[in-house]
Amino acid sequence: MSAVSLPPSPGRAPAAPAGPTGPRRPGPLARFGQPVVALGAVALLLGVPFWLILATASKPHAEALDPDLSAPSRWQLGENVATVVQDGHMVSAFLGSLLVMVPSVLVVLVLGSMASWVLARRATRPLAVVYALCISGIVLPPAVVTIVLLLRQLGLAGTAVGMIGVYCGMYLSTVIFFVTGFVRTIPTELEEAARVDGAGPVRVFFQIVFPLLRPVLATATILICLYIWNDVFYALFVIGGRIDTLPLNLYQVASSGLYLQNWELIFAYIVVMSLPLLVVFALAQRRIISGVTGGAVK
């Protein structure tokens, strides 16, 4: 680490801030060594796995039997992708992923915000208990086996509605936690002005408060989309074998005997499956990073 933060020579007076990080004056070793170490870490820790994915996904079947770091003799990423999109039912899996993710996110955002607004504004002891109960789901794991039993009793086993309900039950806690904290920082004057004008609570909430929640709802949306899009554990219990989602089908492609050893297809699947998230990430990188880290450090 010494390459990163060499102390400045003690005799020199502090210089004017050199940039957004302030007056750090790295020595020559840090100036030339640090980028080399940083890029080396990227190449070794990320370059190797990502090369393995891309190279294997592009190999003919015979070469991919034992996946190694060699380059394919003939690049056939397109063919492998076409095969796996067809055989892995990727179109219906993509739609299935959207089918469970979009309604879940919309429902938790709207219902979670409504609850958070009241929980933040009415500071009574019983509601503090309700709040604690609401956010306990952040820490406590869902009872995944009995959820299935419950869904059977409700006639929702294996349905998209059941899956959406399960995701809502899991991630309402996250929304309520984020939004309640945020609502407390919004001054009440805006609401009161609308109330003086005769607006009822529904209008006050949806016309005044809800639009103000945009930044925190963006954060929550990113987090929850990430969880649901990549979830395989809960999906296996609730809709496994009934509805296709991208991770469920990846699991099937990788674990079914038919595809055993078909590493080029597994990795082609991973390439296609990761693309939507990578595109979204590339477009909204700053927003996502500040969203995910925001609130973590106070």
Partner 1 sequence: MTTILERPTATEADPGHTPRRRPASRSDHPLWFLVPALALLGVFFIAPTVFNFVYAFTDWSSFKTEISFVGLENFRDLLGNGSLISDLRITVIYAALVAVFQNLFGLLLALLLERDTRVNRFARVAFFVPVIMSALAVGYVFQALLKPDGGLNAMLSFVLPGEVSVAWLGSTTWTVVVVALVHAWKWMGLSMLIYLAGLKTISEDVLEAARLDGASSWQVFRQIKFPLLAPAVTFNVATALLGSMNGFDIVQATTEGGPGGSTELLNIFIFRTFGQGLFAQATTMSLTLFLVVAVLAFPVIYLLRRRERVL
Q: Distances in Å between the alpha carbon of 33 and those of 40, 168, 282?
A: 10, 48, 28
Largest CA distance in the chain: 77
Query: How near is the Cβ of 69 to partner 1 at its closest, in Å?
Result: 4
Positive or negative, the CA dihedral 32, 35, 39, 41 is: positive
Q: Closest by alpha carbon to 154, among 245, 238, 240?
A: 238
What residue type is 44 in one-letter code?
L
**Given the structure tokens 């102390």, which residue do they identify?**
7
Q: Residue 193 is encoded by which pair of tokens? A: 């002005």
SS3 14: coil
Residue 179 sits in the site that holds partner 1 (CB under 8 A): no
Q: Which is nearer to partner 1, 99 or 265 (CB)?
A: 265
Among 28, 187, 198, 241, indicate the residue that binds partner 1 (CB under 8 A): 187
Residue 178 sits in the site that holds partner 1 (CB under 8 A): no
- 200 DSSP assignment: -
Which residues have CB under 8 Å from 82's CB, separation 6+? Answer: none
Q: Residue 64 is encoded by which pair of tokens? A: 């991919």
Among 75, 210, 251, 259, indicate the residue that binds partner 1 (CB under 8 A): 251
Choose one: 75-83, 85-93, 186-194, 211-219; the region binding partner 1 (CB under 8 A).
186-194
Residue 142 sits in the site that holds partner 1 (CB under 8 A): yes
In whole angstroms, what is the distance from residue 250 CA to residue 287 CA? 28
Among 188, 207, 215, 258, indicate the residue that binds partner 1 (CB under 8 A): 188
Write out the binding residues for partner 1, residues 219-238 only, by CB under 8 A: 226, 229-230, 232-233, 236-237
Positive or negative, the CA dihedral 275, 276, 280, 281 is: negative
Write out the binding residues for partner 1, residues 79-138 only, by CB under 8 A: 107, 111-112, 114-115, 117-119, 121-123, 130, 133-134, 137
Residue 176 sits in the site that holds partner 1 (CB under 8 A): yes
Residue 266 sits in the site that holds partner 1 (CB under 8 A): yes
Query: How near is the Cβ of 78 to partner 1 at its closest, in Å?
Result: 20
- From residue 32 to residue 71, what is the string marking binding to partner 1 with x (rule CB under 8 A)? --xx-xxx-xx--xx-xxx-xx--x---------xxxx--
Among 132, 139, 196, 260, indicate the residue that binds partner 1 (CB under 8 A): 139
In whole angstroms, what is the distance from residue 278 CA to residue 91 CA? 18
Choose one: 76-84, 86-94, 160-168, 210-218; the region binding partner 1 (CB under 8 A).
160-168
Choose one: 75-83, 86-94, 140-148, 211-219; the region binding partner 1 (CB under 8 A).
140-148
**Given the structure tokens 């390439």, which residue do they identify?**
271
Q: Closest by alpha carbon to 255, among 274, 239, 276, 232?
A: 232
Q: Which is nearer to partner 1, 96 or 247 (CB)?
A: 247
Residue 14 sits in the site that holds partner 1 (CB under 8 A): yes
Write out the binding residues for partner 1, residues 195-214 only, by CB under 8 A: 195, 201, 204-205
Choose one: 73-81, 85-93, 165-173, 213-221; the region binding partner 1 (CB under 8 A).
165-173
Rg of the chain taking only CA atoms, in angstroms: 25
Q: What is the CA angle 226-54-252, rounded to 5?
A: 55
